C-alpha cells in the first residue's frame, strides 16, 4: 500500500504534451496513460522487493516497457540498474553478484528467482540524492564497471540539454540507440520527454531495418535524432535520404572525422549537425560543436553545456587552456563507481573529473578532442593518438572503417597497426594505402601493418574496444 497519489520522480515534471510512439509496436502512448503504466509497475516492484534492501535490474526487451520500469523503480524508491536485455546467463549472474540487486525485471536466464510478492508493500519515491541509476560501461563478462547517478545529476543534465538545444528541435525525436546506453536513455529519451516532445522509440534497429530510416524520419516528422558514427555510416549506405530534414542532428560516443561529419550533414539535409562530447560519467552530453564552427578540425566539440573544462598538463598542473587530459566540472557528474572506491578516487583531481580524453582547450573555452590516454601508441617515446589514425584512414576512398592500435616492436617498443574494413567492391592494395598515408602524416604515424576485417568488433553499446579489435586482428594472419 502507499499514498493514493504516487510520485514519479522526473516524470511528473514532464509537460502534458509528452508522449511515446513505439514504431515497431505501432502504438502511441500519451503521457497520462504512460503514467498509469508507471504507477502500476511501481506497485509491482514494491511488492516484489518488500523488506529487502538493494537496487533492481531493468532489462526489458520491449522499449516502452523498459522506459516504464525505469521510472517505476524510482517511484517505488529503488535504484534502477539498466542493462542489455540480451545478456547471457553468465553475464546476468555477474551483474547480480556485483550489484547486489534484489530483483530482475526482464527475461531471466541465470536461474535467479525473484522474491515472492508481498500483499502489503509500502513505498515512497526515491529522494533526489540517493543512487537512482546504474549503467555499466565495461564488460559484464568480467568485473562490471557500474556508474551511479542520482536523480539530481540526471535532472541537471536533462535541463542543460534542453537549455542548449531549445524546445523546438525536440518536438519529434527518434531514439535509435539502446536504453542501457546513457546516450540513448538520457540524451535520446529523457531529454525529449522533459521538453514535452513526442519520443519515437526504434531502439537498436538491425541492418535490414536501417534501410527504412529515411522513411521513418519523414513519416514521423522527426525534428531531432542522435546516434554514433557507425550508425550513420550504415544508414547512409542502406537507406534513402529523408525528404524533410530534421532540425537538428547529433553524432557522438566515438571519434568523428570532418569528412564523415560533412557526409552526414549532406545525407540528412541540414548543416545543423553537432559533434557531441559526453560520457556516461557525466550523464551523456557535456557539449557539442557545429561543422561550421569546427573550421576543418577533426574532434571539435565546442564549449561546455554548463560547468567548466580544464586540462591536466604533463606537469600535473590544472590549466584553463592548452593541451592535456580533459577535466570537467559539471552538475551532472556521477556520484561514484559502484563498489570501487579506489577507481572513484582515481577519477578525480580535487573537484575535477578526469575524462581520460586528450584535448586542446582554447582560451575561449572551445575544446577539440585528439585522442584517449589509454589508446596512445608509444613509438620510441613519440606519442601517437590512435583516433588520429582512425580518421586518417577513413578518408581513404577504399576504407569504410578503421581502428588503429599499437603492436609490439623490438626496435621501437610499439608501432602503429590498424584494422580496416574496405568499402563494397574495393580491392585490398595495402601498400597503396600505406603510401597514401605517407603523403599525409609523419612517418612514425604511418601504419606498419594493416589487417583487413569484414567488420570492426564492437561492444553491446556499439562502441569500439581497441584491445578486442587488436585481439581479433592478430588472431588471423595479417596481410602485408
C-alpha cell belonging to residue 206: 538491425
| Dihedral, 309, 310, 311, 313 alpha carbons, nearest 10 | -170
| pTM for the whole structure | 0.87
Whether residue 29 is predicted with pLDDT greater than 80 in this model: the reply is yes
232 falls within a domain: yes
Whether residue 435 is predicted with pLDDT greater than 50 in this model: the reply is yes
- Cα gap 306→383, rounded to integer Å: 32
For residue 21, the surrounding DSSP H or E stretch is strand 19-22
State the DSSP string of 393-440: HTTSTTEEEEEEEEEEETTTEEEEEEEEEEPTT----HHHHHHHHHTT
Task: For residue 109, give the CATH number of its domain.
Answer: 3.40.50.12780
262 and 117, same structural domain?
yes
**pLDDT tens per residue across span 314-324:** 889 999 999 99
Out of 149-158, 225-234, 441-450, the most confident range is 149-158
- Cα gap 55→57, rounded to integer Å: 7
Query: Residue 428: its pLDDT value, please?
Result: 79
Strand order across the beta sheet in which 146-150 lies: 103-106, 56-59, 80-82, 131-136, 146-150, 336-337
Query: Residue 376: its pLDDT value, please?
Result: 87
Whether residue 192 is predicted with pLDDT greater than 90 in this model: the reply is yes
Q: Using 50, 70 and 90 to split pLDDT, how confident is the model at 12?
A: very high
388 and 349, same structural domain?
no
282 and 324, same structural domain?
yes
Query: Residue 4: its pLDDT value, please?
Result: 58
- Cα gap 304→365, rounded to integer Å: 8
Burial of 384 by CB count in 10 Å (0-12 exposed, 13-18 middle, 19+ buried)? buried
Out of 17-31, 80-94, 408-422, the most confident range is 17-31
- Cα gap 105→420, rounded to integer Å: 39
Which residue range forms the structural domain that includes residue 12?
A: 1-373
CB atoms within 10 A of CB 1: 11
Between CA 176 and CA 179, with CA 178 as vertex, the angle to 5 degrees is: 120
State the DSSP string of 182-241: HIIIIIIIIHHHHTT-EEEE--S--HHHHTTHHHHHHHTT--EEEE-HHHHHHHHHHSPP
Between CA 396 and CA 405, with CA 400 as vertex, the angle to 5 degrees is: 80
480 falls within a domain: no
- Cα gap 169→164, rounded to integer Å: 11
State the DSSP string of 160-181: HHHHHH-SGGGSEEEE-S-TTS
Residue range 252-266: mean pLDDT, rounded: 91
Q: What is the DSSP letter of 335?
A: S
C-alpha cell belonging to residue 328: 570537467
Query: Residue 141: its pLDDT value, please?
Result: 54
391 and 309, same structural domain?
no
- Cα gap 75→12, rounded to integer Å: 10
94 falls within a domain: yes
Burial string for 105-139 (b: 16+ CB within 10 Å, else e) reads: bbebbbeeeeeeeeeebebebbeeebbbbbbbbee
Domain boundary among 373, 400, 415: 373
46 falls within a domain: yes
- Cα gap 68→222, rounded to integer Å: 22
Higher-pLDDT residue of 334, 233:
334
Between helix 430-438 and helix 386-393 the angle, nearest 10°, is 110
State the DSSP string of 257-325: -HHHHHHHHHHHT-S-EEEEEEEGGGTEEEEEEEHHHHTT-TTEEESBSSSEEEEE-TTS-EESSEEEE
For residue 386, the surrounding DSSP H or E stretch is helix 386-393
402 falls within a domain: yes
Burial string for 238-263 (b: 16+ CB within 10 Å, else e) reads: bbeebeebbbbbbbbbebbbbebbee
Residue range 330-350: mean pLDDT, rounded: 96
For the chain, give the mean pLDDT. Answer: 93
Place of cell 590549466: 319
1 falls within a domain: yes
Place of cell 534492501: 53
**pLDDT tens per residue across span 125-181:** 999 999 999 998 765 556 778 999 999 999 999 999 999 999 999 999 999 999 999
- Cα gap 263→125, rounded to integer Å: 46
407 and 361, same structural domain?
no
Higher-pLDDT residue of 144, 407:
407
Query: Residue 142: its pLDDT value, please?
Result: 61
Task: For residue 408, give the CATH number of its domain.
Answer: 3.30.300.30
C-alpha cell belonging to residue 121: 508493500
306 and 420, same structural domain?
no
Domain boundary among 350, 373, 396: 373
391 and 260, same structural domain?
no
Query: Residue 256: its pLDDT value, please?
Result: 87
C-alpha cell belonging to residue 338: 559502484
**Phi and psi angles of residue 14, each rounded to the nearest 5 degrees, phi first:** -70, 140
36 and 144, same structural domain?
yes
189 and 323, same structural domain?
yes
387 and 356, same structural domain?
no
Residue range 12-32: mean pLDDT, rounded: 97
Q: Using 50, 70 and 90 to split pLDDT, how confident is the model at 478?
A: very low
- Cα gap 117→46, rounded to integer Å: 8
- Cα gap 205→23, rounded to integer Å: 11
Beta pairing partners, 415: 407
Task: Look at 61-70, 209-218, 248-257 and tell me which has the smallest mean pLDDT.
Answer: 248-257
C-alpha cell belonging to residue 277: 562530447
CB atoms within 10 A of CB 410: 5
Query: Residue 479: its pLDDT value, please?
Result: 47
305 falls within a domain: yes
74 falls within a domain: yes
Domain boundary among 373, 388, 420: 373
**pLDDT tens per residue across span 382-406:** 889 898 899 899 999 999 999 999 9
Q: What value does the CA radius of gyration of the chain take, rounded to a whole number of Å?
A: 23
- Cα gap 251→257, rounded to integer Å: 11
467 and 339, same structural domain?
no
Query: Residue 480: its pLDDT value, please?
Result: 43
Query: Residue 182: its pLDDT value, please?
Result: 94
194 and 251, same structural domain?
yes
Please tell me the total count of domains within the chain: 2
Amino acid at each position: 500500500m502507499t499514498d493514493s497519489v504516487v510520485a514519479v520522480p522526473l516524470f511528473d515534471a514532464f509537460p502534458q504534451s509528452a508522449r511515446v510512439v513505439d514504431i515497431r509496436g505501432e502504438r502511441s502512448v500519451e503521457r497520462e496513460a504512460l503514467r498509469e503504466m508507471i504507477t502500476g509497475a511501481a506497485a509491482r516492484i514494491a511488492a516484489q522487493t518488500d523488506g529487502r534492501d538493494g537496487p533492481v535490474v531493468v532489462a526489458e526487451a520491449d522499449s516502452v516497457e523498459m522506459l516504464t520500469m525505469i521510472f517505476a523503480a524510482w517511484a517505488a524508491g529503488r535504484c534502477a540498474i539498466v542493462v542489455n536485455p540480451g545478456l547471457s546467463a553468465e553475464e546476468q549472474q555477474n551483474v547480480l553478484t556485483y550489484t547486489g540487486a534484489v530483483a530482475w525485471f526482464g527475461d531471466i536466464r541465470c536461474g535467479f528467482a525473484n522474491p515472492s510478492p508481498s500483499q502489503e508493500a509500502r513505498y515512497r519515491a526515491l529522494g533526489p540524492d540517493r543512487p537512482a541509476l546504474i549503467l555499466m560501461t565495461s564488460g559484464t563478462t568480467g568485473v562490471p564497471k557500474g556508474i551511479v547517478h542520482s536523480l539530481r545529476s540526471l535532472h541537471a543534465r536533462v535541463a542543460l540539454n534542453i537549455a542548449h538545444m531549445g524546445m523546438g528541435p525536440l518536438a519529434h525525436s527518434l531514439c535509435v540507440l539502446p536504453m542501457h546506453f546513457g546516450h540513448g536513455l538520457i540524451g535520446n529519451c529523457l531529454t525529449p520527454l522533459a521538453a514535452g516532445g513526442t519520443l519515437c522509440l526504434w531502439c537498436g534497429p538491425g541492418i535490414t531495418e536501417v534501410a527504412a530510416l529515411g522513411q521513418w524520419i519523414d513519416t514521423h516528422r522527426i525534428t531531432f535524432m542522435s546516434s554514433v558514427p557507425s550508425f550513420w555510416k550504415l544508414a547512409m549506405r542502406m537507406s534513402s535520404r529523408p525528404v524533410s530534414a530534421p532540425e537538428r542532428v547529433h553524432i557522438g560516443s566515438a571519434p568523428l572525422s570532418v569528412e564523415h561529419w560533412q557526409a552526414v550533414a549532406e545525407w540528412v539535409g541540414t548543416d545543423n549537425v553537432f559533434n557531441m562530447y559526453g560520457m556516461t560519467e557525466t550523464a551523456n552530453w557535456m557539449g557539442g560543436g557545429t561543422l561550421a564552427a569546427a573550421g576543418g578540425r577533426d574532434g571539435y566539440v565546442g564549449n561546455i553545456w554548463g560547468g567548466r573544462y580544464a586540462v591536466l598538463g604533463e606537469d600535473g598542473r590544472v590549466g584553463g587552456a592548452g593541451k592535456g587530459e580533459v577535466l570537467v566540472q559539471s552538475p551532472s557528474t556521477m556520484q561514484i563507481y559502484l563498489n570501487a572506491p579506489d577507481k572513484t578516487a582515481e577519477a578525480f583531481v580535487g573537484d575535477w573529473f578526469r575524462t581520460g580524453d586528450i584535448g586542446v582547450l582554447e582560451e575561449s573555452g572551445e575544446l577539440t578532442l585528439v585522442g584517449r590516454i589509454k589508446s596512445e601508441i608509444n613509438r620510441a617515446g613519440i606519442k601517437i593518438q590512435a583516433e588520429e589514425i582512425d580518421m586518417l584512414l577513413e578518408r581513404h576512398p577504399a576504407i569504410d572503417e578503421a581502428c588503429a592500435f599499437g603492436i609490439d616492436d623490438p626496435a621501437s617498443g610499439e608501432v602503429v597497426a590498424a584494422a580496416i574494413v574496405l568499402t563494397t567492391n574495393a580491392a585490398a592494395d595495402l601498400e597503396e594505402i600505406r603510401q597514401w598515408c605517407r603523403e599525409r602524416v609523419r612517418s612514425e604515424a604511418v601504419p606498419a601493418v594493416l589487417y583487413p576485417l569484414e567488420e570492426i568488433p564492437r561492444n553491446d553499446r556499439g562502441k569500439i574496444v581497441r584491445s578486442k579489435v587488436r585481439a581479433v586482428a592478430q588472431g588471423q594472419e595479417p596481410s602485408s
